[in-house]
Structure 1
Amino acid sequence: KKYPVFSYDRDRIYDLFEKYEAEKARNGHYDSIDRTKAILCLAKKKALGGPHIHEVYIDECQDNQIVDLTLILKVFDRVNNIFLAGDIAQCIARGSSFRFEDLHALMYNWEQTRAKINYSNIDINPERFELNINYRSHNGILQLASSVIDLIRQFFPNSIDKLSREHSKIGGPQPIFFNGFQRKHLTDHKESELDDVYTHNKQRRVDGDENPLIEFGADQVIIVRDDKAKDQLKKLINKAGLIMTVFEAKGMEFNDVLLYNFFTDSLACRKVILYYMLHLTDNIINHS
């Protein structure tokens, strides 16, 4: 109810949520949020068991729901025993609406409530800092990535935190866009030739490992939007290259990356980007 992105049509979206909840109850289903809420309800009646943990360090915290982080707070005496790190630009999990602003508010309110219960005058404001130097990429790629973040801020205000742009200490070329890519560009090779490429890239079997492609390291990868696009591309290139969806490629590193049909397979297609470019052009003209 409180998520700012939904403020334009909150009643309608909440109606959809209620229908979703009713459908779950009718079929006897539950989701990850239901699971966490059940644990929280149990924790109110009975103390959570297990070894006492003094501090916890959580990476990739953007992959968690706020209710999951609430459960983590329940385990500790103070919020300053918790260190969380994450990247809002890597928040690609479906249904996730993570923001550090929400996490900061949760931790502050949690500590304030706990202080009142314990009759304490503790007033803690969780410290937050940014790591905006990227050591894994160069500025050519990071500038493009930052422009995508700008698009999100432009069309979905308050959906992500307002952080400073990432930059690198290393310069580099901007990514190249190939327009007019056709089926024949991928199917000129005969199947036997594609198999030769596949054999050349084949990983040596170690201890019976029959994984045909090297999944980690300095290799090339073709990234597509979803499983449907992955299956379609596999039919085109056979075994000539490693194809992964965004979810599969998350956290992995490659020397060369091709994003295939990323705008074509998008539900928003190119309309959002074209609108944004026109908006920028108008601003430039008006200020010139």
Structure 2
Amino acid sequence: MLMKFYSFSSGVVDHLRSNKDNGELDLPFEVTDQEQETIVFPRSAFILGRSGTGKTTVLTGKLLAKEKVFQRAAELFYGVKSDNLVHRPDNETKETLAKSKSTILRQLFVTVSQKLCYAVKLQVTQYVSQLKSSVYDGDCSKGTSSKDIDDFDDAVQFRDIPDSFVGVSTISYPLVITFHKFLMMLDGTVGNSYFERFHNVRKLDTGRVGGRSIALETFIKLKEVNYERFNLSYWPHFNAKLITKLDSSRVFTEIISHIKGGPQAVEEGDGKLSRDDYLLLSTSRVSSLSTEEREIIYELFQNYEKLKMKRGEFDLADLVIDLHRRLRIGSYTGDEIDFVYIDEVQDLTLSQIALFKYICKNIEEGFVFSGDTAQTISKGIDFRFQDIRSLFYKKFLLESKSIGHNKREEKEIMSNIFYLSQNFRTHDGVLKLAQSVIELLYHFFPQSIDVLEPENSLVYGEAPILLELGSNENAIITIFGNNGASIVGFGAEQVILVRDDSARMEVAKYVGKQALVLTIVECKGLEFQVVIVHVYLFDLSVYIELISLVYC
């Protein structure tokens, strides 16, 4: 009952006939009425739903639908097809068409996950190439193929795309990139690069992949402070009396999402909340931190900033703050994007999301945000969907030059929220387990995630199996054996999910290359037939983390 169905029409026949190389075609499949309503909605929108409810499908559906309309218009413009014949325009019209051929539809699809980005890119590239081939009667392929499936590094995956929105080739659109690549492109578009302030960067070699020097990419990986580095290299150096009262993850989240990444921080002169403004947040009805706790966090934040500067390191919030500053005092000179689709938006801070307003002026129709705060697995991110909607109203809508301050007009074009509830990936046995976790979050952390109706599935299934072993037993050895021999049927459609990189290394020692082992972050948005979730300690934090696995 979860099979995909495809409508057979004259358009599909043309699509099949345009496949000159006899390769595998990825045709758009039929969607539900709920999904179709979201796809055809003509204005900016928010799509909210748990994992497996079709959010990415709807996003790509909207993108491809606009490409299809645009290519149909181009087909009528360049020559109308009829009975396998193309009526060519006269010489004067040809000259006009040649001049206007540079006019393209610039669409941008952004997600945090490299693997999910690649999967979407492969689907979009193939479909759009087929559309263009059927219109222009030629090969419009961008050259993406399944042989690159292991090339998930940004520098390799986007080697043909410059680190700037200036000079992007027309064939690169629609542009499907990671958020990291988006930041690099924006950094290369406006003024001097943020990384030029680092002395070591000026000495880097000129070997380049995708417009960015290989050495600079290495520098970024070595010097960027994420939660793991914060916890291991910074947290132990702080005042012991302060860090015993708070959790390092909570402190990092407050720094990245609120002090340096909240909507108030965007408006501050230096991009960071002052101590007084941050303490005022404790009076908010959704605040779970006292004024005393915020005092400690702010002191830790100041110590963190001093130590980070001393070490010549940076975090992503520093780059985002600098981009906002440059875009406020300068001007954006890159390609004007017509439509922006942001998937897994819950893995971005509000200040990161606010960057998209500079590249797309089509506020009324040009933005679609998709995600689920119950799946926030990026360390340091903390907000709800209503916060994004409020941000869109204040930073996108009110600051847009395309409208005045007519309250009625603002209300009419304010983005809708679409809720997706039918799960297409899994059966109701897994959904019931997932919902039990969600109910615990609702009870103990009422402000942490958005409240949605429980998901439903058309397929019955048993609850997942919990394999409990003795204290001296190793679950992986029990399943796979000492030599890591693959069990029957365990292949590309199966996966072992682990909590982090250290756990992956531990599991890989026993299974070798006989099984695919991914972290929670890496498996985001991907689908498998069989999933083994490997945990060392089944405590509350691990239990909550399993929310992100509901698609299994």
Deviation at 1:126, TM superposition (A): 2.4
Share of identical aligned residues, percent? 31
**Structure with higher RCO (Cα < 8 A, 6+ apart):** 2
Residues 1:262 and 1:67: Cα distance change in structure 2 (over 3 Å): farther
Structure 1, unpaired ranges of 5+: 202-212, 273-288
> 1:195-214 to 2 correspondence within 5 Å?
195=485, 197=486
Distance in 1 separating the partners of 2:526 and 2:443? 29
Q: Do the aligned residues in 1 keep the contact of 2:495 with 2:531 (CA within 8 Å)?
A: yes
TM-score normalised by length of structure 1: 0.75
State the secondary structure of the residue aligned to 1:114: coil
Distance in 2 separating the partners of 1:132 and 1:170? 14
Select the residue among 34, 42, 49 that pairs with 2:333. Answer: 49
Q: Deviations over 1:60-108 (max 9, x none)?
A: 2122221111111233335332111112232111111142111011112
Deviation at 1:141, TM superposition (A): 0.8
Select the residue among 113, 117, 123 that pairs with 2:410. Answer: 123
> 1:74-113 to 2 correspondence within 5 Å?
74-77=358-361, 79-80=363-364, 81-111=366-396, 113=398
Distance in 2 separating the partners of 1:78 and 1:225? 40
State the secondary structure of the residue aligned to 1:72: helix
Q: Which residue of 2 aligns with 1:29?
A: 313
Q: Deviations over 1:100-155 (max 9, x none)?
A: 11101111222564269964314233211211111111111111112222222222
Q: Do the aligned residues in 2 keep the contact of 1:59 with 1:86 (CA within 8 Å)?
A: yes
Q: Do the aligned residues in 2 keep the contact of 1:226 with 1:246 (CA within 8 Å)?
A: yes
Q: Which residue of 2 aligns with 1:248?
A: 522
How many residue pairs end up in the alignment? Answer: 252
Distance in 1 separating the partners of 2:494 and 2:396? 47
Distance in 2 separating the partners of 1:174 and 1:5? 36
State the secondary structure of the residue aligned to 1:39: helix
State the secondary structure of the residue aligned to 2:419: coil
Q: Do the aligned residues in 1 keep the contact of 2:429 with 2:460 (CA within 8 Å)?
A: yes
Matched to 2:369, the amino acid is: L
Q: Do the aligned residues in 1 keep the contact of 2:344 with 2:372 (CA within 8 Å)?
A: yes
Residues 1:151 and 1:16: Cα distance change in structure 2 (over 3 Å): farther
Q: Which residue of 2 aligns with 1:162?
A: 451
Distance in 1 separating the partners of 2:371 and 2:342? 8
State the secondary structure of the residue aligned to 1:183: coil
Q: Do the aligned residues in 2 keep the contact of 1:234 with 1:243 (CA within 8 Å)?
A: yes
Distance in 1 separating the partners of 2:459 and 2:344? 25
Distance in 2 separating the partners of 1:229 and 1:111? 42
Deviation at 1:268, TM superposition (A): 4.2
Q: Do the aligned residues in 1 keep the contact of 2:374 with 2:450 (CA within 8 Å)?
A: no
Moved more, 232-241 or 47-56: 232-241
In the alignment, does 2:466 pair up with 1:177? yes
Q: Do the aligned residues in 2 keep the contact of 1:222 with 1:241 (CA within 8 Å)?
A: yes
Q: Do the aligned residues in 2 keep the contact of 1:56 with 1:82 (CA within 8 Å)?
A: yes
Matched to 1:123, the amino acid is: E
State the secondary structure of the residue aligned to 2:522: helix
Q: Do the aligned residues in 1 keep the contact of 2:482 with 2:510 (CA within 8 Å)?
A: no
Task: Give me the CA root mean square deviation.
Answer: 3.0
Distance in 2 separating the partners of 1:153 and 1:141? 19
Matched to 1:183, the amino acid is: E
Distance in 2 separating the partners of 1:70 and 1:18? 25
Distance in 2 separating the partners of 1:116 and 1:51? 18
In the alignment, does 2:347 pair up with 1:63? yes
Distance in 2 separating the partners of 1:149 and 1:262? 22
Query: Which structure would you say has the larger Rg?
Result: 2
Deviation at 1:7, TM superposition (A): 2.5
Q: Which residue of 2 aligns with 1:146?
A: 435
Distance in 2 separating the partners of 1:56 and 1:38? 22
Deviation at 1:173, TM superposition (A): 1.1
Q: Do the aligned residues in 2 keep the contact of 1:135 with 1:168 (CA within 8 Å)?
A: yes
State the secondary structure of the residue aligned to 2:323: helix
Q: Do the aligned residues in 2 keep the contact of 1:225 with 1:262 (CA within 8 Å)?
A: no
Q: Do the aligned residues in 1 keep the contact of 2:504 with 2:518 (CA within 8 Å)?
A: yes
Q: Do the aligned residues in 2 keep the contact of 1:65 with 1:96 (CA within 8 Å)?
A: yes
State the secondary structure of the residue aligned to 2:368: strand
Select the residue among 411, 417, 421 that pairs with 1:132. Answer: 421
Deviation at 1:221, TM superposition (A): 1.6
TM-score normalised by length of structure 2: 0.41
Distance in 1 separating the partners of 2:316 and 2:518? 25
Matched to 1:139, the amino acid is: D
Structure 2, unpaired ranges of 5+: 1-277, 545-552
Q: Do the aligned residues in 2 keep the contact of 1:79 with 1:126 (CA within 8 Å)?
A: no
Deviation at 1:233, TM superposition (A): 2.4
Q: Deviations over 1:3-58 (max 9, x none)?
A: 84542433322332222222222223221111111111111121111122222222
Distance in 2 separating the partners of 1:129 and 1:37? 31
Matched to 2:331, the amino acid is: A
Distance in 1 separating the partners of 2:320 and 2:457? 38
State the secondary structure of the residue aligned to 1:22: helix
Matched to 1:178, the amino acid is: L
State the secondary structure of the residue aligned to 1:128: strand
Residues 1:234 and 1:102: Cα distance change in structure 2 (over 3 Å): same
Matched to 1:168, the amino acid is: S
Residues 1:117 and 1:190: Cα distance change in structure 2 (over 3 Å): closer
Q: Which residue of 1 aligns with 2:501?
A: 227
Q: Which residue of 2 aligns with 1:257?
A: 531
Moved more, 145-154 or 252-261: 145-154
State the secondary structure of the residue aligned to 1:247: coil
State the secondary structure of the residue aligned to 2:354: helix
